[in-house]
Amino acid sequence: MVFVGSDQLTVPTAVKIVIAGGFGTGKTTMVASVSEIAPLRTEELLTEAGVHVDDLVGIEGKDMTTVALDFGRITINTKVVLYLFGTPGQNRFWFMWDELATGAIGAVVLVDTRRLDSSFPSIDFFEHRDIPFIVAVNCFDGAQSYTVDEVRHALDLDEQIPVMLCDARNRESSKAVLVGLIQHSMNRLAAV
């Protein structure tokens, strides 16, 4: 993407953000809700072959899954463009996470409180690689509500890790999460 100005060409700075989390937490939905372009999706139908591999407890109505990545873009201004990379959530696709996280300024770990145990591998991934991340609790319809402090305690998160409540279907809610991540990443960078 090149912007043509008054006698000059401007190539914006690319800022990479990863949207991660367990299987069925709403990563594809978040990327789609906030992207200014039609997002690139690599979704496939769940089939009988995955019955013994994919844990659908709590998300029985899910019929599609990301098999590589989701990709979206947000142009902030002529100088900054955000590129969003959604990770696949199933264990068998985790080998891709290192590639997707390379060069990212940070990550959103999307959490579903109905399946909280699926959040730990994502949190561990970013902690072990020292990549700044925040936790965004996707507040699904019909799911029990928890406070930020209850989620922080259940996930055993350090006080410096921001935890936010969100609705991944809602553009403004997803934007607020991304702003929270960028602020957290900038604060971490300033502290170095």
State the pTM of this model: 0.83
Full DSSP string of the chain: --EE-SS-EEPPEEEEEEEEESTTSSHHHHHHHH-SSPPEEEEEE--GGGTTTS--TT-TT--EEEEEEEEEEEEEETTEEEEEEEPP-SGGGGGGHHHHHTT-SEEEEEE-GGGGGGGHHHHHHHHHTT--EEEEEE--TTSPP--HHHHHHHHT--TTS-EEEE-TT-HHHHHHHHHHHHHHHHHHHHH-
Of 60-74, 107-121, 129-143, 175-189, least confident by mean pLDDT is 60-74
Q: What average pLDDT does this structure show over 65-76?
A: 79
Of 40-49, 101-110, 126-135, 144-153, least confident by mean pLDDT is 40-49
Amino acid at the residue 4: V
Q: 6-63 pLDDT, tens per residue?
A: 556 777 789 999 999 988 899 999 999 999 998 776 665 555 555 555 555 555 565 5
CA pair distance 41, 171, nearest whole angstrom: 18
Which residues lie below 8 Å from residue 186, measured CB to CB, with a gap of 6+? none
Residue-level pLDDT at 39: 78
CA pair distance 137, 85, nearest whole angstrom: 18
Q: What is the CATH number of domain 3-191?
A: 3.40.50.300
Q: What average pLDDT does this structure show over 104-117?
A: 94
Residue-level pLDDT at 182: 95
Residue-level pLDDT at 177: 97
Domains of the chain by residue range: 3-191
Average pLDDT, the chain: 85
For strands 40-45 and 64-77, give the pairing: antiparallel
Q: What average pLDDT does this structure show over 144-163?
A: 95
Residue-level pLDDT at 44: 56
In this prediction, residue 92 has a pLDDT band, given cuts at 50, 70 and 90, of low
Measured in whole angstroms, how far is the alpha carbon of residue 68 from the centre of its chain?
Answer: 14
Q: What average pLDDT does this structure show over 121-143?
A: 94
